[in-house]
Chains A and B, each alone.
Chain A
């Protein structure tokens, strides 16, 4: 029995008892639902002409990205600005990490500037939690190594929920480089938590071991993995993994694991196709599928990303803003 209803009516139970958002694995199903419900309210605002709210006015948001990012950084910057926060971006090229400063010294330096919210991306698993333990403000994990990327899983869930109505009971196939993917790990946990049947589809070299222990069904044959799927989520294949180390070539990878219209026919006719971007067209996904305006949810994912991040920034700062009941 999946309990996805927040026990908000229960006296004494905090609806979101977390200072930070570091991993989906830390969240109860109703806490995930709470974030999705909050995000839903921002979707309409973002579609309007005046996309602004001043609830975070006067608060400082630092986006500290120790790993390259364009899309996620932009999404967080827009989310912060639409809520009225003062948003500052720090990217690795401009940081003192290059000058030999340790990660924790950098964290303490950021903390001394009294941010009200830190959004952090780092290339090593666990690095964001390490920083969070040393700073005095809420920390949001924008991706740590191959561990988790919680806002990506939330925006994926919101996209699915809006298209399909409910996540429970759906069959979701996550295909591609599972081994190195934090997006996959966050999605495995979230989708299983909300009652979906989750499949991992990849060549054996790109699967992570013991996925069955996370409640995931494993397929190395893509046609079998897509059979009857309600949602197909493609993962990006990093360029450095394409040529020999993990798969022989992009040509062979596309032949067996690329998402084509023919292969997608095995899935349900109303299948939703997703990709966290940026896409490698002709490597993991065919352009015809990527641009299918009915079945592709890729643009919607980007749109939901801003709404989800607004919801997370709002919820995580409620305690320090003194919102009643938080």
Chain B
């Protein structure tokens, strides 16, 4: 095994708050320590003052797209169960863990219900034993409150986190946009933004009743964020996440029927967009993830309502999130926490920190490097990003997985 010494770096460990010039030594697939003695045989990598941090953990993707993940500094992904077939039995969970290795480790979420149909519980205990790091309702909420209640009760037996989709199923049936001026002008079937608050309110109450650990993969409205803020203050074990699209784009992005901006949940009004950014900064939103979902042209070159939702985002996750540091005064440590140590703690994953003995998963990141997002030249399996052509600042220069250089620019 090669020993690496990442020198001349700004070393950030989000978990401890360490942020200082120094170096990190990695040997035998694990971190030796910050500013540890550099062995004579170590390969020296001069980072030129750039940031060295734990590799990112992307909490909630729909595909284990290794090239895009490595180019985005992601070494571990939490995989949603919305696969064909859905990840609703132990054998599928075991298989899913192998699909990204060696360089991207996949931590699957088990389907909460059989076939993700929202009716009967799946074998979540056996799935957990097989390696599932949580259970998820999938792309849609479980419509039946009774099923959701029993799911949460049952999940507490295994201390499994329940990952819920925050949209009221009946209100959003058939909708592809958020109710508002743009949906009206474009003639798109739309659902009110409060469909999210209704779903969040129900699940928060059920979580309080059961004591389960509840995580909303995406919360995108001011109203629902207020509910979560209050629930956290009251001691409910709830966390939530969001993707960069919901703090950078609003519903005007669907003008011209741009299907790359067809997302689930749909883009919201600008007030909600700003509320999401503020909620990340104040810590109400715990996790920033990519929601990476490659879609082929056949899925996207369709009339808006027929097009499949979703966007690729693994490669651009950190560069887009970096706007929170520049424009909203977040510290790099706090932002990186939302993509490293917080998801690691929630899903009980190794990595996400620089403590001695932790997995040797690191990134070298240049926070100042300007570049332009180019859908056609991205590393992702497909180019369905609504940010095509956007100039961004901040670029991953190197991704190290298990003590080996898995990717470098």
Q: Do A and B bind each other?
A: yes
- Inter-subunit contact B306/A124 (CB<8 Å): yes
Q: How far is the CA of A124 from the CA of B298 in the complex (A)?
A: 16
| Stretch of B89-97, B100-108, B178-186, B322-330 that contacts chain A | B178-186
Kindly state whether residue B208 has any CB partner on chain A within 8 Å: no
Supposing A102-B298, A104-B301 touch, asked if A126 and B185 sit within 8 A by C-beta, the answer is: no
> Do A127 and B303 have beta carbons less than 8 Å apart?
yes
The reply to whether B181 and A213 form a contact with Cβ atoms under 8 Å apart is yes
How big is chain A's contact interface, by range? 20 to 34
Q: Report the minimum CB–CB distance from B358 to chain A (whole Å).
A: 48
Report B3-32 CB contacts with A as 1/0, cut-off 8 Å. Answer: 000000000000000000000000000000
Does B305 sit within 8 A of A, measured CB to CB? yes
Contact A129 B257 (CB under 8 A): yes
Do B184 and A208 have beta carbons less than 8 Å apart? yes
Interface residues in A279-322 (C-beta closer than 8 Å to B): none
Q: What is the distance, in angstroms, from B67's C-beta to the closest C-beta of chain A? A: 27
Residue interface mask B392-409, A partner, CB < 8 A = 1 = 000000000000000000
Contacts of B170-192 to chain A: CB distance below 8 A: 179-181, 183-190
A209-B179, A209-B180, A209-B190 known; A125-B301 Cβ under 8 A: no
In the complex, whether A146 has a CB less than 8 A from a CB of chain B is yes
Given contacts A103-B303, A124-B303, A126-B257, contact A211 B184 (CB under 8 A): yes
A209, B187: Cα distance in complex, Å: 11
In angstroms, Cα B305 to Cα A214, docked, is: 22
Interface residues of A in 162-203 (CB under 8 A from B): 182, 185
Most buried by B among A104, A129, A145, A214: A145
Q: How far is the CB of B110 from chain A (nearest CB, A)?
A: 34
Pick from A102, A104, A124, A148: contact of B304, CB under 8 Å: A124
- Give the Cβ gap from A102 to chain B, nearest Cβ, in Å: 7
Find out whether the CB atom of B257 lies under 8 angstroms from the CB atom of A25. Answer: no
Chain B 177-218 interface mask (CB, 8 Å, partner A; 1/0): 001110111111110000000000000000000000000000
- In the bound complex, residues from chain B placing their C-beta under 8 Å from that of A211 are 184
Instruction: For B184, give the chain A residue with the smallest CB separation.
Output: A208
Q: How far is the CB of A7 from chain B (nearest CB, A)?
A: 26
* A126, A129, A211: most-surrounded residue (chain B CB, <10 A): A126
Contact of A122 among B181, B186, B298, B303 (CB under 8 A): B303
Q: Which residues of B contact A124 (CB under 8 A)?
A: 303-306
B42 within 8 Å of A by Cβ?
no
Cβ-defined contact, B303 with A145, below 8 A: yes
- Which residues of B lie under 8 Å from residue A102 when comparing CB positions? 298, 301-302
Residues of B within 8 A of A213 (CB): 181, 184
Closest chain-A Cβ to B276's Cβ sits at a distance in Å of: 21
Q: Which residues of B have CB within 8 Å of A129?
A: 256-257
Using A102-B298, A125-B257, A209-B180 as known contacts, say yes or no to A25 and B304 having CB atoms under 8 A apart.
no
CA distance A103 to B305 in the complex (A): 13
Query: Residue A130 contacts which of B180, B190, B303 (CB distance < 8 angstroms)?
Result: B303
A125 in contact with B184 (CB, 8 Å): no
In Å, the complex CA distance between A213 and B190 comes to 16
Chain B residues whose CB sits within 8 angstroms of the CB of A147 once the complex forms: 186-187
> A44: CB under 8 A from chain B?
no
**Cβ–Cβ < 8 Å partners of B184 in chain A:** 185, 208-211, 213-214
A126 and B304 form a contact (CB under 8 A): yes
* A176 CB, nearest partner CB in chain B, Å: 16
- When distances are taken between beta carbons in the complex, the residues of chain A under 8 Å from B189 are 146
When distances are taken between beta carbons in the complex, the residues of chain A under 8 Å from B302 are 102-103, 130
Q: How far, in whole Å, are A125 and B187 apart by their CA atoms in the complex?
A: 6
Q: Is the CB of B187 within 8 A of A185?
A: yes
Shortest C-beta distance, B254 to chain A (Å), equals 9
Q: Is B303 a contact partner of A185 (Cβ separation < 8 A)? A: no
**How far does the Cβ of B252 sit from chain A's closest Cβ, in whole Å?**
12
**With the chains together, A47 CA to B367 CA distance in Å?**
73
With the chains together, A137 CA to B301 CA distance in Å?
20
Closest A residue to B301 using CB positions:
A104
Contact with B along A82-121 (1 / 0, CB 8 A): 0000000000000000000011100000000000000000
Residues on A with beta carbons closer than 8 Å to the beta carbon of B185: 25, 185, 214
Q: Are A148 and B187 in contact (CB under 8 A)?
A: yes
Contacts of B183 in A (CB 8 A): 209
Contact yes or no, B180 A210, CB < 8 A: yes
Given A185-B185, A214-B185, decide whether A145 and B180 contact each other with a Cβ distance below 8 A: no
Per-residue 0/1 for B266-306: is the Cβ within 8 Å of any A Cβ (1 yes, 0 no)?
Answer: 00000000000000000000000000000000100111111
Q: Are B179 and A125 in contact (CB under 8 A)?
A: no
The docked-state distance in angstroms from the alpha carbon of A192 to that of B180 is 19
Bound-state CA distance A122–B181 (Å) is 22
Closest Cβ–Cβ distance, residue A104 to chain B (whole Å) = 6
In the bound assembly, the distance between CA atoms of A148 and B256 in angstroms comes to: 13
A199-233: contact bitstring with B at CB < 8 Å (1 yes, 0 no)? 00000000011110110000000000000000000
For the complex, give the distance between the alpha carbons of A146 and B303 in Å. Answer: 12
Within 8 A of B (CB), among A139-164: 144-148
Q: Provide the bound-state CA to CA distance between A238 and B187, in Å.
A: 16
Q: Note all chain B residues with C-beta closer than 8 A to A148.
A: 187
Distance between Cα atoms of A209 and B189 in the complex (Å): 11
Contact B301 A182, beta carbon cutoff 8 Å: no
Nearest chain B CB to A224 CB, angstrom units: 22
Q: Which of B179, B184, B298, B306 has the most CB of A within 10 A?
A: B184
Q: Which of B180, B188, B303 has the most CB of A within 10 A?
A: B303
A residues in contact with B256, CB < 8 Å: 129
B-side interface residues toward A, CB under 8 Å? Answer: 179-181, 183-190, 256-257, 298, 301-306
Which residues of A are in contact with B by a Cβ distance under 8 Å?
A: 25, 102-104, 122, 124-127, 129-130, 144-148, 182, 185, 208-211, 213-214
7 A-B pairs whose Cβ atoms sit less than 8 Å apart in the complex: A102-B302, A103-B303, A124-B306, A125-B257, A126-B257, A146-B189, A209-B184
User: A103-B303, A209-B190 known; 12 other A-B pairs, CB under 8 Å?
Assistant: A124-B304, A124-B305, A125-B305, A126-B186, A126-B257, A130-B303, A145-B187, A146-B188, A147-B186, A185-B185, A209-B180, A210-B181
Nearest 6 CB-CB pairings of A with B: A126-B257, A124-B303, A147-B187, A146-B187, A127-B303, A125-B187
